[in-house]
Amino acid sequence: MSHPELPQRRGDDDHLRALGYEPKFERKINPIANFALGFLYLSPMVGVVALFALGMTKSGPLSVFWIFIVGAGMLLVALVFGEIVSQFPLAGGLYQWARRLWNGRAAWWMSWVYIGGTTVGITTTALFSSGFAASLLFGTPEEPSVTATPIQTLVITLAVISIALLFNLRGSKALARISQIGLAGELVGIIGVGLYLIIFQRKNDISVFFSGMGADGGGSYVAMFLGASLVGLYMFYGFEACGEVAEETPNPGRSIPRAMIMTVIIGGTAAVFSFAGYVLAAPNLSKIVSGEDANPIPTILQDSLGTVGMKIFLVIILISFLAGVMGQQTASSRLVFSFARDGMFPGSHLIAKNGRNSHVPVNALLMINVLPVVLTIYVFISPDSLFRIAAFQMVAGYCAFAVVVLAALRARLKGWRPAGTFRLGRWGLTVNIAALCYLVFGMIVLAKPDLSLDAPWYDQWIALIGFLVVAVSGLAYLLFAKPDRASTAPQGDAIQVAEKIRQFS
């Protein structure tokens, strides 16, 4: 497909046409709503409350430092993504970025892996909500923390997925409104409550953050600390959702890079306040670290806020879970839509259709919710598999990020100089290399075996095994079916597009 000449004065739709596509969406997601979408997908509240108990049992209060480590690494990635989306503000984000920076084959394989990760993400986020829904419905002042039964988990998870899907099917305007409402609730809940716990409900000394408190059997410091890696690695996943809706956002080349960077910085800061607040306000840290209190957040809230305050906050938490699932559905469906629009797999003409009234990819939304339903049923049968499924999700996500960052580095070394409105200038190459190194480090940490499990070897390596199954099956299909050859969409043109942009700037 040849490129039309870039117009001298480029509006959003003119820029889109110059990149080879006709507008299909309504630009109803304003910059605040775009930031809200990424923030709610990342959802520091959901990350903290879902993974607080895991981190505490693995390395005690020390696990809070993973928020700083991962936040710094992901900020580097967000800066690289910002340069790319500023030049290529296209629906489908990661897929389009890999395609234009490298080629259709790399983009196809990366998207296969990423879609596997995001659909699992829909599942895990909805599943993590079940314990809080159970505590809201069945918790008492004497026993505020309630562990959901397998059947309760099944029903609650399917309900959250279904409700989020129904809201998503209403269109971009509805998504923008719900995202902004969810953002307000999340900020009040995570920062407001976190500060309140730190200032008025502190029961533990700050020195606890430098002690493992005998977590995970008191093993070696390094092994103990690495065991809590999911606290940070899972939490900062999702800021790329801002770029997935680039064709639904006004002035995306300027607003989306800012939204991604703000998501990482504000999300990380909020998560630190929240995590620290729960640690300092916990009435019995040793019970949490030992695993005796498996769902400690309701207990801490009951002790600090009382029954009414706890219930109100649990409602806010559940709204955040719902908004997070919506954001994941949105990001995944836009990537699948973009994938189908380029004719990259059978049935693409059906998947690439938008709803007549909602102007959203209805068939893609329905398609990406099939696997989450299947996985929810699997977790019902095998309840202990939840965290291992989450670990696979993150390996897949980090791999997809790494492919895009590697594609950007490859393009830079071949002469690409980003030409969007957001640029890193002379720091671009350094940041790009550092971001790639961080992502490789993250994949190694995520894929390492969980030797603390009293389980067969394949269960300890489940994250890597699951990733390899998805990655190898996608590669096999790519090599034999050659789906990339069915597409005539532009690819590998980052240098040429950048030169054209400079000519008309």
Give the model confidence (pLDDT) of 189-237 as tens digits: 777 888 889 999 999 999 999 887 777 655 667 777 887 887 888 788 7
* Interval 464-479 mean pLDDT: 90
Looking at the domain covering 12-499, what would its CATH class be? Answer: mainly alpha
Task: Give the per-residue pLDDT at 481.
Answer: 87
Tell whether the torsion through CA atoms of 412, 265, 94 and 436 is positive or negative.
Answer: positive
**One-letter amino acid identity for 371?**
L
Give the whole-angstrom CA distance, residue 200 versus residue 309. 14
Q: Is 73 helix (H, G, I), strand (E, B) or coil?
A: helix
DSSP state letters, 41-71:
HH-HHHHHHHHHHHHHHHHGGGGGHHHHHHH
For 112-122, the pLDDT digits (tens) are 999 888 888 89
pLDDT at residue 418 is higher than 90: yes
Tell me, what's the pLDDT at 1?
Answer: 45
Amino acid 505: pLDDT: 59
What's residue 483's pLDDT? 85
Would you say residue 5 has pLDDT above 80?
A: no
DSSP notation for 150-182: HHHHHHHHHHHHHHHHHHHTT-HHHHHHHHHHH
For 254-269, what is each residue's pLDDT tens digit? 999 999 999 999 999 9
For residue 448 the two structure tokens come to 């390492």
How would you write 369-405 as a 3-class SS string? CHHHHHHHHHHHHCHHHHHHHHHHHHHHHHHHHHHHH
Residues 467 and 399: beta-carbon distance below 8 Å:
yes
Q: Report the percentage of the chain scoring pLDDT > 70.
A: 92
Distance CA(141)–CA(147), nearest Å, equals: 15
Which candidate, 402, 376, 398, 399, places its Cα nearest to that of 389? 376
Using 50, 70 and 90 to split pLDDT, how confident is the model at 6? Answer: very low
Percentage of the residues of the chain whose pLDDT score is greater than 90: 36
Helix (H) or strand (E) holding 438: helix 428-447
With cut-offs at 50, 70 and 90, classify the pLDDT of residue 9. very low
State the pLDDT at residue 145.
74
What pLDDT score was predicted for residue 83? Answer: 97
pLDDT computed for residue 173 by the predictor: 76
Average pLDDT rounded to a whole number, residues 18-39: 84
Q: Which residues contact 244 (CB under 8 A, 6 or more apart)?
A: 91, 92, 93, 94, 330, 331, 334, 335
Region 367-378: mean pLDDT is 91
SS3 category, 491 = coil
Dump pLDDT digits (tens) for 268-304: 998 998 999 999 999 999 999 888 888 898 889 888 9
Q: To the nearest whole number, what is the mean pLDDT of the chain?
A: 85
Mean pLDDT of 339-368: 77
d(CA 321, CA 406): 32
pLDDT at residue 165, rounded to an integer: 93
Say whether pLDDT at 90 is over 50: yes
Q: Looking at residue 471, what is its pLDDT?
A: 93
Comparing 14-18, 262-266, 434-438, which segment has the lowest mean pLDDT? 14-18
Angle at 396 between CA 395 and CA 397, to 5 degrees: 90
Q: Which residue has the higher pLDDT, 5 or 68?
A: 68
Q: Grade residue 85 by pLDDT with cuts at 50, 70 and 90.
A: very high
Average of per-residue pLDDT across 13-18: 81
- Residues 452 and 227 sit within 8 Å (Cβ to Cβ): yes
31-60: b or e for each residue (b if 16 or more CB lie within 10 Å)? bebbbbbbbbbbbbbbbbbbbbbbbbbbbb
Confidence check: pLDDT of 421 > 80: yes
| pLDDT value of position 244 | 84
Identify whether the C-beta of residue 354 lies closer than 8 Å to the C-beta of residue 112. Answer: no
| pLDDT of the residue at 8 | 36
> Is the pLDDT at 106 greater than 90, yes or no?
yes
Q: Which residue has the higher pLDDT, 89 or 463?
A: 89
N-terminal to C-terminal alpha carbon distance within the chain: 24
Lowest-pLDDT range, 30-34, 73-77, 140-144, 428-432? 140-144
**291 φ/ψ angles, rounded to the nearest 5 degrees:** 90, 0
Give the other-Cβ count within 10 Å of 469's Cβ. 12
The pLDDT of residue 181: 81
What is the rounded distance in angstroms from the CA atom of residue 423 to the CA atom of residue 274?
A: 33
Say if residue 28's pLDDT is above 70.
Answer: yes
Q: In the predicted model, is pLDDT for residue 453 greater than 70?
A: no
